Chains A and B, each alone.
Chain A
Amino acid sequence: MEKVSITIDGKPIEVEEGSYVLQAAEELGIKIPTLCYYEHMTPYAACRICSVEARDGKGWTKIVTACNYPAWDGLQIFTDTPRVITARKVNLEMLMSHCAPAPVLQELADELGVKEPRWGIGTDTCIMCGLCVRICDEVVGAHALTFSSRGIDREVSTPFKLESEDCILCGACARYCPTGHIRMTDTNGRILHSELTLGPNTAISIPFRQAIPNAPRIDPDYCIHMATGGCKLCSKVCPKECINYEDKDEFEELEIGAIIIATGFQDFDPTPMQQFGYGKYPNVLSSIEFEQMNNAASPTDGKILMENGEEPRSIAILHCIGSRDEDHHKYCSRVCCMYALKFAHLVKEKTNAEVYQLYIDMRTFGKGYEEFYQRILTEGVNVIRGKGGEIVPAPPEYSSEGNLLVRCEDTLIGKFREIPVDMVILCTALEARGDAEDIARKFNISTGADGWFIEAHPKLAPVSTTTEGVFLAGVCQGPKDIPDTVAQGTAAAAHSIRLLNMGEVLMDAAYAEIVEEFCSGCRICNGLCPYNAITFDEEKKVSEINSALCKACGTCVAACPTGAIKARHFTDDQIYAQIEGILA
């Protein structure tokens, strides 16, 4: 492209031929107001607010829109002639007579000195800037929005005003709508506790604070480009050209010296326990849902709210949901008592709600835990010894106290109780991940009956596994709280470092070897070795074992017809001797 010289308000500038006047003005720091321009979309020139006067210096003059007027050599642009000011003012006044006074219009009115629009103020919240239609069309590439009808009836809608199949729910239209005409709503503005998420709500984010590398990555589930092939805004704004859309998850082979398995747990799903009505009554929450709502970064800004957006009047916290339960998990999940007490504390801190704790046994075994429990008791939390039995909708006579009724047996007073509450929190069990079995098989370790990984020794080797160099950390080994997890993780790290720092690997003394004189060269052993450790020496006509590869399983030893293979530490003689000794 050739460079051309133009002037804007007398200031000269060199720009590429055909580039738009608005961009040149921006470079010069001359502000031209606009309502429908966005740098990453084709100029639409619908609002006409960016009108400027173009002259050629020979008498020709014309009002043009700066956002899409191409520069040519000798072009003179004037942004503040009376004709331009009138054009902008009148256009804004006309727009205001149709549209509700959105802040973006009000600001512009102040800027242009429009005090009272002559033709009144309208009610339509849409200013027809077309940003939404264009972003959907050009940037997102979903083509889900369009203008329908014409003239004064013109409006933004999906084709035929039907729910669009092409909409990918990216929210770009709402994000770029300058007046709030387009909004993202969930179903009727209700708060769906099960859908509140804490995660980053943009497609590009650093996954978590401690991530390594500590760099942003694109979440393909939310990336518009991945969904439609459009957008690519990030690559347009990244000055270092770091965006790589081609990057994919890939398999890499790493040579490592130790493995720490820290796969954690999954939440017990209380839905099958129908007596608690989870999934049926909107205000029955699992503990993690409550935790998410409670977070300051949650969509409710950390407020404790019911589905209808109101603050609950009372909350029941039910312990041991799925834990210590013959029908589900027999073990104690260990962490629930303490977080339930924390919940009670937070509810008391944030709301005026009554809190009921329904527990089987209060297990506050850690350092400082019992003290915390005692403090909660002084905060006026109702503590009831007895497991919650059933949750039903509260009959009308309880409506002043709560919408739900928790039935339980208070074992201390030996009475059956019905407690009306607005919200119920189920302290669900920690359970082994569904894919723990697969992981166990991959690393040659074992899982227990509950699915937790088994340590090499419950007392003496709680971090190691039966596979050398593979260590366990955290809840994947069994329920534990944060201090315990940190301790185990640290231990696993220390074990790993020890292995890595040794530099040389201590080989197990147990491996098999072939006594050359006895080997007949039958090669039966060759095919049996799972580690391909046995090779045949063509010259000597005997088989040989690579002792570094041998894992000492002894399969070859048992198969050798001439008894030429000896398993060190497990030789035939040794075993026969053992047998002899045992049976003597």
Chain B
Amino acid sequence: MNNNKFTSPEDLNRLRERLVKQREEGRIIITVCAGTGCLACGCEAVTAAFREALKENQLEDKVEIRTTGCHGFCERGPLVVLRPEGTFYQRVKPADAKLIVEQTIKHGKLVNKLLYRDPQTKEVIVKEDDIPFYSKQMRLIFGMNGHMDPTSINDYIALGGYQALAKALLTMTPEQVIDEVKKSGLRGRGGGGYHAGKKWASCRRAKGEPKYVICNADEGDPGAFMDRSLLEGNPHGVIEGMVIGAFAIGSHDGYVYVRNEYPLAVKNLNIAVDAAREHGFLGDNIFGSSFNFDIDVSRGGGAFVCGESTALMASLEGKIGEPRAKYVHTVDAGLWDKPSNLNNVETWANVPLIIEKGADWYSRIGTASSKGTKVFALTGKINNTGLVEVPMGITLREIIFDIGGGPPKGKKFKAVQTGGPSGGTLVVETREPKVHESLVAHGDIRDEEEVVSLLDLPVDFDELTKVGSMMGSGGMIVMDQDSCMVDVAKYFLNFLQEESCGKCTPCREGLRITLEILTRISEGKGQMEDLDTLEEISQVMIDTCLCQLGGSAPNPVLSTIRYFRQEYLAHIVEKRCPAGVCKELVSHAIDETCTGCHVCFSVCPTNAIIGQTKTLHVIDQDACIQCGACYQLCRFDSIKRVKRGEGDAIQYVAKEKWHPPVKKKAAAVA
């Protein structure tokens, strides 16, 4: 085993040169994304199909298949990139493998149907780098994902891995490393945005031995999966960062606290830790120096609150995952009351970059207060769901529209929620959606509307906090015109209430009461004073909650009230839901545009829709449960969401106006 251990950077360089040479021998590499998104889309079958196809064409020697970590463009998975050309195929099915091998690899022809077509310009794009989704990004820490097999340490070394470690360990003192990180301006990517260098320095200064280095990989925010993708796609980057951090802090024990719900991440991480140990990047006398460090992988039990640092440490200790007061910082008394430095996956992954390329280079990226890049998990009502890595300071507009491609089906963008469930919802545009006029606000409310456009807000830690949200771990949930803000707040509060540990009163009871009030409002039973009460409870929660889960929990409520007060008022005063989401306030009705296609009839779970083919359909208002199944399905927008109780009136008018849709049908056929 010792033969594999590197005792000097020269060894590492020799291996790297050999690997690079191998790679440059002109072989074609088929990289199949095996991130979780693509796995779910069936990329394993695609890989198998490629193997089969290569075998058939006797190309096994010339072409290499590499299953890689997440490429980020999950919306279009399974993704296949042919390297070194960079030809990008999307939504590849197993049957397409043969086609690609025979057409592209053998004859250099492109397979048109698998190429990316820009939804807006309808332009066909061949190269991965040219796709707007990628071209607007700055993939510093995600960059390697698409080029390497996460289970192969050689791939990582070939791409320059562990060079930073060698540099830090052999040419720098711990203080220099900390200075470098301080100078780079790296801030914790877990949510708080605390300066990593400062934290390391105080942990180094703290009295007590041993010191612990912990990687928080307990990513529990709904819709966030960048830590997962990093651990799955490039675990060595995180390990390297941790070793450098441990060296700087003076720690010899590291823990990675990873969600057990991430089996692939756990697997790849364990493979990587073993490989790193085998190669002497972990263990005793790393790189022949006197520095010893090793990492334990610990799997979490699935509690959201365990992403909070003190709760995480309690869980690591084998106790109930409950936070404690952080009046004494964890860098002084953390895990087992010893000085502990906890950073999240993404933060650690940034460290090798900073050491390798230097703080000056790193600090040139981003804004004055926030340096480097940030990975966002773009989800919700958006075309290009996926992980995007962008430099700090980029505007929301660029992320949502240029990279994300805007909301699907041409619907109007309404808001974006950042920072996970405890983050805030930012309005960027008000709506003028296609809502029935009975749902449109009356004049008096409209006048009070304050349109706050934050689309051009530069995204960094401080800007987001200023507008009532937070960076969080980087979840970004996009909402379109069909999203009701009361419902959104209710959804997040419900999540938080279920995940609250229940230790302190304001979080446990406050969330319950807040949720009760929100539910009441969404049912049209709200009172005007409810808004004041919500704000009062929220303020008390911010003031008195034990940990940040509770302290930031009112964010969704406060920010939706702040930016969508009129929508709350619509629910409370007019008893209507402008987006037509809150079931108790909405009626579904069919208007005269109905073609009698009968699709809605079959989907209705309560048989509330009455009508024969090619006749006007009618919704029985008493039987309708407002599930919205018909609304989602109707291709003719004939089903309307209207204010509760006004459905019959619409259907009455429809009966008067309706005539068999001869023309429309013909048009549809054409």
Contact = CB atoms under 8 A, between A and B. Distances in A.
A91 B544 contact: yes
Given A45-B546, A46-B546, A149 B540 contact: no
B505 A95 contact: yes
B508 A87 contact: no
B500 interface: yes
Contact of B501 (A47, A94, A150): A150
A424 interface: no
Contacts of A83: 543
A186 to B, nearest CB: 31
B94 to A, nearest CB: 43
A424 to B, nearest CB: 52
B497 interface: yes
Nearest to A147: B320
Given A151-B497, A153-B502, A146 B320 contact: yes
B540 A90 contact: yes
Most buried by B among A118, A152, A154: A152
B127 interface: no
A577 B530 CA distance: 121
Contacts of A49: 505
B155 interface: no
Given A97-B513, A150-B305, A151-B500, A86 B540 contact: yes
B133 to A, nearest CB: 38
Interface in A82-96: 83, 86-87, 90-91, 94-95
Contact of B504 (A48, A90, A98): A48
A149 B324 CA distance: 17
B328 interface: yes
A49 B511 CA distance: 17
A536 interface: no
B236 to A, nearest CB: 35
A91 B503 CA distance: 13
A543 interface: no
A94 B327 contact: no
B360 interface: no
Contacts of A63: 543-544
Nearest to B546: A45
B502 A128 contact: yes
Contacts of B512: 98, 152
Contacts of A68: 325, 327
Interface in B496-533: 497-506, 508-513, 516, 533
A70 interface: yes
B303 interface: yes
A119 interface: yes
Nearest to A91: B505
A24 B305 CA distance: 32
A130 B504 CA distance: 10
B502 A152 contact: yes
Contact of B502 (A51, A69, A86, A150): A150
B325 A151 contact: no
Contacts of A45: 324-325, 504, 546
B508 A128 contact: yes
Most buried by A among B320, B536, B543: B543
B120 to A, nearest CB: 44
B505 A94 contact: yes
B537 interface: yes
Nearest to B323: A45
Interface in B289-335: 303, 305, 320, 322, 324-325, 327-328
A65 B544 CA distance: 8
Contacts of B497: 151-152
Interface of B is mostly: helix
B153 to A, nearest CB: 39
B508 A152 contact: yes
A64 interface: yes
A24 to B, nearest CB: 14
A128 B536 contact: no
Contacts of B510: 94
A119 B513 contact: yes
Contacts of B502: 128, 147, 149-154
Contacts of A94: 505-506, 509-510, 513, 537
A44 B544 CA distance: 14
A68 B328 CA distance: 10
Contacts of A87: 540, 543-544
Contacts of B533: 118
Interface in A271-328: none
A51 B539 CA distance: 14
Contacts of B511: 151-152
Interface string B531-555: 0010011011001111000000000
Contacts of A51: 543-544
A127 to B, nearest CB: 8
Given A46-B503, A48-B546, A151 B540 contact: no
Contacts of A147: 320, 322, 502-503
Contacts of A69: 325, 327
B518 to A, nearest CB: 13
Contacts of A43: 325
Interface string A128-155: 1010000000000000001101111110
Contacts of A130: 503
A513 B367 CA distance: 115
A51 B506 CA distance: 12
A97 B509 CA distance: 8
Most buried by B among A44, A64, A94, A118: A94
A48 B502 CA distance: 13
Contact of A90 (B328, B498, B503, B536): B536
Nearest to B539: A86
Contacts of B305: 150
A151 B500 CA distance: 5
Contact of B508 (A86, A118, A119, A154): A154
A65 B550 CA distance: 15
A146 B325 CA distance: 19
Nearest to B321: A150
Nearest to B517: A119
Contacts of B513: 94, 97, 119
Contact of B327 (A46, A70, A146, A150): A70
A98 B540 CA distance: 17
Nearest to A83: B543
Contacts of B540: 86-87, 90-91
Interface string A35-68: 0000000011111110100000000000111001
A528 B546 CA distance: 84
B260 to A, nearest CB: 17
A94 B516 CA distance: 12
B427 to A, nearest CB: 28
Interface string B466-503: 00000000000000000000000000000001111111
Given A90-B537, A94-B513, A146-B320, A151 B544 contact: no
Contacts of B325: 43, 45, 65, 68-69
Contacts of B508: 98, 128, 151-152, 154
A71 to B, nearest CB: 10
Most buried by B among A43, A83, A91, A151: A151
Contacts of B536: 86, 90
7 contacts: A43-B325, A48-B506, A91-B506, A130-B503, A152-B509, A152-B512, A154-B501
The 9 closest A-B pairs by CB, nearest first: A154-B502, A94-B509, A63-B543, A151-B500, A90-B540, A48-B544, A151-B502, A87-B544, A150-B501
Given A47-B505, A49-B505, A98-B512, 19 more contacts: A45-B324, A48-B506, A48-B544, A65-B544, A68-B327, A69-B325, A90-B540, A91-B544, A97-B513, A98-B508, A119-B516, A150-B303, A150-B499, A150-B500, A151-B499, A152-B502, A153-B502, A154-B501, A154-B503
Interface of B: 303, 305, 320, 322, 324-325, 327-328, 497-506, 508-513, 516, 533, 536-537, 539-540, 543-546
